Structure 1
Amino acid sequence: MTTAETGQSSGSKTSDDAWAKLVPLDTRFSDIEIKSNDMVICSEIKPSSVERHEWCRITKNLGQGSATIHNKSSDAILVDEAVIPKDGAVDIISGSEIVPGPEGQDTEAEVSDIISSYCLCYLQYRFTIMPAPESRTQLLQILIDPEHAKCSICLNIWHDVVTAAPCLHNFCNGCFSEWMRRSEEKHKHVLCPQCRTTVQYVGKNHFLKNIQEDILKVDAALRRPAEDIAVLDSSASIQSNLIIGSKRKRRLNMPSPTLEERDNLRLQCPQCVANIGSYRCEHHGAHLQCHMCQGMMPFRANLQVPLHCKGCDRPFCGAYWSSENVTQGVSSPVCGRETFRPISERTITRIPFITHEMNRHEQDITQRCITHMGKTVPDVVAEWLRLFNNREIDRSRMPLNHAEMITASTHVCNDCYDKLVGFLLYWFRITLPRDHLPADVGAREDCWYGYACRTQHHNEEHARKRNHVCRPTRGNHHF
């Protein structure tokens, strides 16, 4: 009996569009599309044989939410770990997991034995209901009006949308960045292009960006030419929330600042107070607030010094103030250069806490492997960083933004550097042959859910007994 089954079907009332499918959890095998409301699924006995056996019948129930599976085989099958005997039936929903049974399986065996045997030996499927194309289009037509998703500067659908506050009007990043540059040259304030309210903050709107992408998927005619997108991207300068202020002169009869107000002055940008490095902030100049020290720094878009971490898009002031020769002061918080610097200039002496999804057993195994090879953590990280920089590593699972743009010379924050090291150590472990692992762990079975397993975080025994430095073979995670 082969454990890999190729689905064949027969039924009536077929259509070109599948309303559901059986998705094998082993990605080497193809999906089985279900196109009729009452379909029999058959399996091959041998790859070269034309003989097929009926496996199950799937009947679509009224509505869009469920179906009924009838066991047509000569053996029991599993549906969501429940044993369904021959000629039995049960309702299934999207996400139900189904395991076909082998020929000759003793249906009188203990239920736990059947579940264990089936799950370990036979191909498993997940039943998935497909959304109807017409309902998707109708939903978008009802909920999204493209006229309400246009930038009032260029009059096109937003691109990399940003939101201005307090008026909450939305614009293309490139359009508003250019508007802001011109406003700072000519006026005391940056006014909203749509309502002329003084803008105090502006930042990216990730929720509206998803809506923008959905609109363009539905109506490709609304897409702009690639040349226009390139121009917008070259003008875009807003990567995180910008604070856009205008400082008015204090009137002589105004009372002295309170203690709370004096404390707030400590967050003032040093270049707002004095001329430093031949630069002093304009009264209406835009500022960024450092994610680490909460201090302020001027937003100077044309400066070559990085102001944002490429891995998380958060602003950090360490590189900027280092370039201006400003050190930590009492009145103005300032980060040191060590908090935000290029990857190539960083060193690490221990395995970061977040490595291997914070599984301390896997971290200990990795450390033992490194030690057994006569190397240190810095040696291994340097070796894999070289492979990373030469683009010899797949970056699809890299837990950082802009993964394809990151090189050894990229500035990143401490958190993102730890994530990068964890990513490199994952590749170090996953490429190790099993005979290079410590003898007491080399025989461990891989966890079905691999690195994405949630049980490893709260079940100490499971975290220790199963290997979690591997790709998932179940669940919705894909490497």
Structure 2
Amino acid sequence: MVEVGEGSGVKPTAEIWAKLAVPLDPGYSDIEIRSDETVVCSEVSSSSVEKREWCKISRNLDLVSATIRNESSYTILADDAAIQNEETAIIKCGSEIIPGPDREGYLSYRFEVMPFPDSSPKQIKICVDVEHAKCSICLSIWHDVVTAAPCLHNFCNGCFSEWLRRSQEKHVCVLCPQCRAVVQFVGRNHFLQNIAENILQADSSLKRSNEEVAHLDSYASIQSNLVVKAGKRQTRKRIHSLVEEETELPCPQCGTEIGGFRCNHDTVHLQCQACGGMMPSRVNTFVPQHCVGCDRAFCGAYWHAQRVSVSDSHPICSRENFKPISERSISRIPFLAHEKNRVEQDVTEKCIRRMGRTLQDVMTEWIAKLNNREIDRTRMPLNHAEMITAETHLCNDCYEKLISFLLYWFRISMPKHFLPPDASKRENCWYGYSCRTQHHNVEHARKRNHVCRPTQGNNV
């Protein structure tokens, strides 16, 4: 049976971006693919007008490849790989596709991506939420944007210049008006200024009046990159209010010596990602202040080592948010495990129960293997993977990523007889852990094992 293909449901005026060519038989026409999703039909016989859907081809975001889905009840071949009903595969320019289970009796198509009609460079459009392009002082779209460092918050030049002037008159150091971190440097940001101008062009209702702009420009004093120096405290006859004290003292060690250390006007402060509180940035302390997995700052371990407890004036987060791997425990399989494939998570949970063990027992064993460098860390989804040991401090998010990574190796190394019967009989998915179908097609997730390395696709 020879099958002739054609695209269906396509506007004839649409641009052709790909085609299925028939290089070995010039008697048949190529199938032109015009829409981003095209269902390909075939004639049942040369004398019949009946059509039958045999595949759907969807254009991928990279614009040079596509996803083919088997819409027929029988196997089709793509680059000699068998695709069952409702299964998908990635095809690229030059891929050979046969609308049947073997080469005999079926046409051989070659997938070809058409060249772009316009190869000139195109501008990349950046979408920005308007609320994220507003100055936190005046609450309007940035005007003549400046960026404060090291916190990297952005303000209008006039707004921040006035804040800077008043801060240096009244306080020892200049604090960011948005996060209260000590500002050490400020400079104009031309990139963000272009974004602000594009927003105002798109929505003129967000523009300020000419009088407002002129008034704002009259305050602007930052013309180039500026190192912010500590100001001089003025002598005051009245007692500082509690609000002023909190503004001037970002952390408990500002103004008070604790653990042999006291902040001065040059001390750079870090903002905790868990509680939002501040702590001094100290490079000469043995207590970690940054998570090795994500490089974010967390204050729990630092203030615990300084024996500082929670107070009303300074937020301090729980030590449970940031502590060594060896001191942590786990009672449930993380949502991220097995690429968020719930079927594989259930299989792993059943395996652990069949072994008469707990998740914590298994993880203790595999953390020891990690510590002894018995595991390949190439795919570990954490920064500085080679530095991580059982004594490394991690935040809660990074700890769950580590557990998910170790659960993959636990399953990879497990003999098949430990798997539940329905799971042990499954064949591996060609795309392994990188399969995109496993996330939205439960039937495919049950039918194929995805805790394996890819044998096809970009991750091979």
TM-score, normalization by structure 1: 0.53
Corresponding residue for residue 22 of structure 2: 71
Contact 1:341 1:413 in 2 (8 A): yes
The secondary structure found in structure 2 opposite 1:112 is coil
Q: Which moved more, 1:402-411 or 1:285-294?
A: 402-411
User: What count of residue pairs does the alignment treat as equivalent?
Assistant: 315
C-alpha separation between the residues in 2 aligned to 1:350 and 1:245?
50
What is the identity percentage for the equivalent residue pairs of Structure 1 and Structure 2?
Answer: 50
The secondary structure found in structure 2 opposite 1:412 is strand
**In structure 2, which of residues 75, 86, 92 is the aligned counterpart of residue 126 of structure 1?**
92
Unaligned runs of 5+ in 2: 1-15, 44-56, 84-88, 94-111, 123-149, 157-171, 175-181, 192-227
Contact 2:253 2:263 in 1 (8 A): yes
CA displacement at 1:250 relative to structure 2: 7.6
C-alpha separation between the residues in 1 aligned to 2:294 and 2:232?
31
Instruction: Please tell me whether residue 402 in structure 1 is matched to residue 384 in structure 2.
Output: yes
Corresponding letter in the other structure for 1:439: P
C-alpha separation between the residues in 2 aligned to 1:245 and 1:447?
62
Corresponding residue for residue 412 of structure 1: 394
CA displacement at 1:311 relative to structure 2: 0.2
Instruction: Please tell me whether residue 112 in structure 1 is matched to residue 112 in structure 2.
Output: no
C-alpha separation between the residues in 1 aligned to 2:236 and 2:251?
22
CA displacement at 1:349 relative to structure 2: 2.7
Cα gap change, 1:263/1:254 in structure 2, threshold over 3 Å: closer, same or farther?
A: closer
**In structure 2, which of residues 320, 331, 334 is the aligned counterpart of residue 338 of structure 1?**
320
Unaligned runs of 5+ in 1: 1-64, 100-109, 140-161, 169-187, 191-197, 208-242
Instruction: Please tell me whether residue 372 in structure 1 is matched to residue 354 in structure 2.
Output: yes
Cα gap change, 1:167/1:369 in structure 2, threshold over 3 Å: closer, same or farther?
A: same
State how 1:45-444 maps to structure 2 within 5 Å: 70-73=21-24, 82=40, 94-96=64-66, 112-113=72-73, 116-119=75-78, 120-121=81-82, 125-127=91-93, 199-200=183-184, 248=233, 251-252=236-237, 256=241, 261=243, 268-444=250-426
Corresponding letter in the other structure for 1:380: V
Q: Which moved more, 1:293-302 or 1:425-434?
A: 425-434
Corresponding letter in the other structure for 1:112: S
CA displacement at 1:396 relative to structure 2: 1.5
Contact 1:266 1:331 in 2 (8 A): no
CA displacement at 1:369 relative to structure 2: 0.5
C-alpha separation between the residues in 2 aligned to 1:435 and 1:410?
35
C-alpha separation between the residues in 1 aligned to 2:310 and 2:277?
11
C-alpha offsets along residues 89-118 of structure 1, whole Å, 9 cap, x if unaligned? Answer: x9x96114689xxxxxxxxxx97146x331
C-alpha offsets along residues 369-405 of structure 1, whole Å, 9 cap, x if unaligned? Answer: 1111222212211221122122221212111111122
C-alpha separation between the residues in 1 aligned to 2:257 and 2:294?
31
C-alpha offsets along residues 405-444 of structure 1, whole Å, 9 cap, x if unaligned? Answer: 2122211112111110111011111222333210122223
TM-score, normalization by structure 2: 0.55
C-alpha separation between the residues in 1 aligned to 2:350 and 2:310?
40
Corresponding letter in the other structure for 1:293: C
C-alpha separation between the residues in 1 aligned to 2:405 and 2:415?
18
Cα gap change, 1:94/1:353 in structure 2, threshold over 3 Å: closer, same or farther?
A: closer
